[in-house]
Amino acid sequence: MTSAKINPNGPLKGKVALVTGASRGIGAAIAARLAMEGARVAVSARTAEAGESRLPGTLHETIDRIRAAGGEAVLIKADLAQARERERLIEETLMALGEVDILINNAAITYFSPVTEFTEKRFKLMMEVQVYAPFHLSQLVLPGMKARRSGWIVNISSPAGIDPKPPYGTRGHGGTVYGMCKAALERFSTGLASEVFADGIAVNAVSPGLVDTPGVAVHGLINEATKDRVQPIEFIAEATYRLASGDPAVLTGRIAYAEPLLAELGLTPSALI
């Protein structure tokens, strides 16, 4: 891996990036990676202060990490389950940094439970945060991107969006709704890519594989059967950066898996600040 540092004159110099779900894990890693290439980054999540979540990690820690390395980042706390909060997020990003050039839809709230036991409240909340929030945030930033004829939207998906195949077993039990969300997000990504291709805007989805994050840990997704499939977080951060900076005429409409994408492009992930 290459060394970890902020390059203020990097390929993303002058670009404004908004990363949701950036208080920890994949979102925090992506925010750091974009900042390393010169982007001015707005980081958002529901957890700004310690103690607001049962999981470790806060937005303050994310922006401190970026600023300590010499990057520029602002914190905007928002609950993406609420339409007005999504609108406020875009408004405050505009006021603090300017128009959004790069939107990373990473925020998620996830419950694992069999369909027969899944509550309506949890179903609607997952769909709101994982499907409609990326849709709505994209609606809010697209007018500016179209006016500039430039923009990148990356939606963070998961292999859970792939249809289960026989023979069926217990693997994935309770993950039907999560898979529905990710499948919908991927179809949204490819559909939107086709709609805005002529506007010079790239839209892609990237799947990280199994990454050791606080969210993965709390759901117990890493165990003896899956530990050999764990992927370093640097892979998803690098793949997302590449999809958020590539030529929209070429690199768009992709449902990409992090490691194969980097292999295809002949790249290795950078170390993170």
pLDDT of res. 50: 78
Q: Of residues 132, 178, 241, 257, which has the active-site annotation?
A: 178
Calculate mean pLDDT across residues 51-63.
Answer: 88
For the purposes of burial, counting CB atoms within 10 Å of the CB of 247, is it exposed (0-12), middle (13-18) or buried (19 or more)?
exposed
Domains, the chain, ordered by start: 16-265 (3.40.50.720)
Q: Measuring CA to CA, which residue among 206, 211, 204 is closest to residue 227?
A: 211
pLDDT of res. 98: 98
Structure confidence at residue 216 as a pLDDT band (50, 70, 90):
low
For the purposes of burial, counting CB atoms within 10 Å of the CB of 54, is it exposed (0-12), middle (13-18) or buried (19 or more)?
exposed
Structure confidence at residue 172 as a pLDDT band (50, 70, 90):
low
Calculate mean pLDDT across residues 175-181.
Answer: 96
115: left (phi over 0), alpha (psi -120 to 50) or beta: alpha
DSSP summary character for residue 269: P
Cis peptide before 167 (omega within 30 of 0): yes
Tell me how far apart the alpha carbons of residues 218 and 160 are, in angstroms, rounded to a whole number.
Answer: 17
Tell me how far apart the alpha carbons of residues 59 and 43 are, in angstroms, rounded to a whole number.
Answer: 7
pLDDT tens-digit series, residues 9-27: 999 999 999 999 999 999 9
Among the ranges given (29-43, 110-124, 160-174, 232-246), the one the predictor scored with the smallest mean pLDDT: 160-174
pLDDT of res. 148: 98
pLDDT value at 273 more than 90: yes
Q: Does 132 qualify as catalytic in the annotation?
A: no
| pTM reported for the whole predicted model | 0.92
pLDDT value at 217 more than 50: no
User: Could you tell me where the beta strands, DSSP code E, fall in the chain?
Assistant: 16-20, 40-45, 72-77, 102-105, 151-156, 201-207, 255-257
pLDDT tens-digit series, residues 92-119: 999 999 999 999 999 999 999 999 999 9
pLDDT of res. 1: 61
pLDDT value at 224 more than 70: no
**Secondary structure of residue 186 in the 3-state scheme:** helix
Calculate mean pLDDT across residues 119-136.
Answer: 98
Calculate mean pLDDT across residues 181-200.
Answer: 98
